Amino acid sequence: MKQVERYKNEKVLVLGLAKSGMSAAKLLHRLGALVTVNDGKPFAENPEAQDLLAMGIKVVTGSHPIELLDEDFALMVKNPGIPYDNPLVQKAEELQIPIITEVELAYQIAECPIIGITGTNGKTTTTTMIGLVLNQDRQQGKAYLAGNIGYPASEVAQKVTKDDELVMELSSFQLLGTQEFHPHIAVITNIYEAHLDYHKTRENYIAAKWEIQQNMTAADFLVMNWKDAEWRALSEQTKAQVVPFSSIEKVDGAYLADGNLYFKEELIMAAADLGVPGSHNIENALAAIAVAKIQGVATEAIKQALQTFHGVPHRTQYVDTINGRKFYNDSKATNALATEMALSGFDNAKLILLAGGLDRGNGFDELLPAFKGLKAIVVFGETQAKLAETAKRAGVEKIIFTENAETAVPLAYELSEAGDSILLSPANASWDQYKNFEIRGDKFMQAVKNLEK
């Protein structure tokens, strides 16, 4: 990693632990900073804080006292999930203390080029695809996955070399905390309305995503979904070279035509040969193809990687077949569009949908067309009434209410018959009942397994 001197003997406050905060605190300590960690979980229930204290790092747990900022910190590294209306964050802004997220630290120490991926949906799948195609038949170095995909960027960045690439999934929350962050290639998968409880307005949300290209130059590449009019308009404002991709028209980049995937007139592969189904995965593959071609990956290597990719956990993940019923885990569908895309790959007449979760104040009118013809829907969580109303308007006759994703499984099984599919695709975040979507998906899969007992 690069030898960074800027933090030596500087007071830095790390706000919020979890994986990213833990990684940031350890890195800053390694770089010679005088680190204080503040986390809301009580010390006795906080093994991460206990480990940091054992390393000689100061920890303050159980609350977020404003008086902490009396210590004249030079920097705050904020957990991405902590909103900017948090009183401690607001006070830091008032005191003009710079606030970053740990992806900024990762950029500062990384010796290799960074490929950053953001967007509303498809980030994890696209990030994984890019990692696979860049590593296919590779002779030197490695593409490392990092960021919002589950591997703290500031941890992974410590081990990369100049021969590697850092392929980073980036949320809008993470991008808001960037200042110098400068990817060589950036990918924007799509843009829809999401996380308005955090960003307050759609304009703020789009602006957060657009931060990914703020420091890019004419030597860099911005891979963009040309289907989105907003991104086409914004593309005129970037200094980077724009490389479009589209599933609906031929563009000067990656595109779908006559059932085949192309890059600038070159046939890459048939869309039907992709290892994952669905129109949304065609777009994800086109983005990965564009990145691979920019990086000089051979066409045959791209084709091999995309043929053998069979999806990521919690994203329309096949779980099991029990007495002729197929179960799928799409817990990562945390908004309506993701669920709409998942539904497009199934026959609604033989599908039972499990949906529900955190109420962010939005409705589900956009799901009306996708719900039509559903055999049944089982709803749970804070949004169950809203989803039930949408399903009723769509003409769904069997609408069942239950507590959570686990209790939905046996109810869905009772409604089904051989040849049906049962799909967990919640259309909502998990935080009303689960710590994250992974836990929700795991609970669902365990409930499926319990049916066999």
Spatial separation of the C-alpha atoms in residues 212 and 189, rounded to whole Å:
12
User: How would you list the strands of the sheet with 325-329, edge to edge?
Assistant: 317-322, 325-329, 421-424, 351-356, 376-380, 399-401
* CATH of the domain spanning 11-100: 3.40.50.720
Domain boundaries, given as residue ranges, for the chain: 11-100, 103-308, 317-451
Identify the pLDDT of residue 121.
83
Identify the pLDDT of residue 15.
97
Q: What is the DSSP secondary structure assignment for residue 169, as one 8-state letter?
A: E
Give which of 419, 412, 376 is closest to 395, Cα–Cα. 376
Give which of 294, 286, 281, 291 is closest to 269, Cα–Cα. 286
* CATH of the domain spanning 317-451: 3.90.190.20
Q: 103-308, what's its fold?
A: UDP-N-acetylmuramoyl-L-alanine:D-glutamate ligase (3.40.1190)
Identify the pLDDT of residue 120.
85
Spatial separation of the C-alpha atoms in residues 6 and 438, rounded to whole Å:
37
Per-residue pLDDT 10s for the chain (453 aa) are 998 999 999 999 999 998 999 999 999 999 999 999 999 999 999 999 999 999 999 999 999 999 999 999 999 999 998 989 999 999 999 999 999 999 999 999 999 999 999 998 889 999 999 999 999 999 999 999 999 888 999 999 999 999 999 999 999 889 999 999 999 999 999 887 656 666 678 888 889 899 999 999 999 999 999 998 888 999 999 999 999 999 999 999 999 999 999 999 999 999 999 988 778 889 999 999 999 999 999 999 999 999 999 888 888 888 999 999 999 999 999 999 889 988 987 899 999 999 999 999 999 999 999 999 999 999 999 999 999 999 999 999 999 999 999 999 999 999 999 999 999 999 999 999 999 999 999 999 999 999 987
Q: What is the DSSP secondary structure assignment for residue 136, as one 8-state letter?
A: T
Identify the pLDDT of residue 401.
98
Collapsed DSSP state (helix, strand, coil) of residue 275: coil
Cβ-based neighbours of 364, under 8 Å, separated by 6 or more: 336, 383, 386, 387, 390, 427
Spatial separation of the C-alpha atoms in residues 164 and 312, rounded to whole Å:
23
What pTM was computed for the model?
Answer: 0.81
Provide DSSP, 349-414.
Answer: GGEEEEEE----S---GGGHHHHTT-SEEEEESTTHHHHHHHHHHTT-S-EEE-SSHHHHHHHHHH
